């Protein structure tokens, strides 16, 4: 069965600092992995997705994530945090043979000016 675990429900970084949001997956087969962002009172927006084409995936707004099979991880990073990055971030995996998503519990990112 597929699942994801997000370490850290809250992460605070200073503006301009590195953003690192952690996600580990559990899957019996090669997974499809996604990172979504949710701003207050809005739906989810896709940041990036891993579909086995490349282990380093670049997404929107300067975010990227690296798929590491040996560590079963798919951590999200951004070199320099911006105030507008403050939001909740969700890691997700899609079910084998279907496109419904299993989400992690989310990480709320706070950016300190």
Shortest Cβ 3–other proteins spacing (Å): 12
Q: How far is the CB of 23 from other proteins (least distance, A)?
A: 14
Query: Smaller CB distance to other proteins: residue 81 or 101?
Result: 101
Binding site residues, other proteins, CB under 8 A? 32, 36, 41-46, 49, 51, 90, 92, 94-106
Residue with tokens 């300067």: 62
Min. distance of Cβ 101 from other proteins in angstroms?
A: 7
3-state helix, strand, coil in the chain (%, to 5): 10, 55, 35
41: left (phi over 0), alpha (psi -120 to 50) or beta: left
């Amino acid at each position: 069965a597929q699942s994801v675990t997000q370490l850290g429900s809250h992460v605070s970084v200073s503006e301009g600092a590195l953003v690192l949001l952690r996600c580990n997956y559990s899957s019996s087969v090669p997974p499809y992995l996604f990172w979504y962002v949710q701003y207050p009172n809005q739906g989810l927006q896709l940041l990036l997705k891993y579909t086995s084409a490349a282990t380093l995936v670049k997404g929107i707004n300067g975010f990227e994530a690296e798929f590491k099979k040996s560590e079963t991880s798919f951590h999200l990073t951004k070199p320099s945090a911006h105030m507008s990055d403050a939001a909740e971030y969700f890691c997700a995996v899609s079910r084998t043979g279907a496109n419904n998503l299993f989400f992690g519990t989310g990480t709320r990112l706070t950016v300190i000016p």
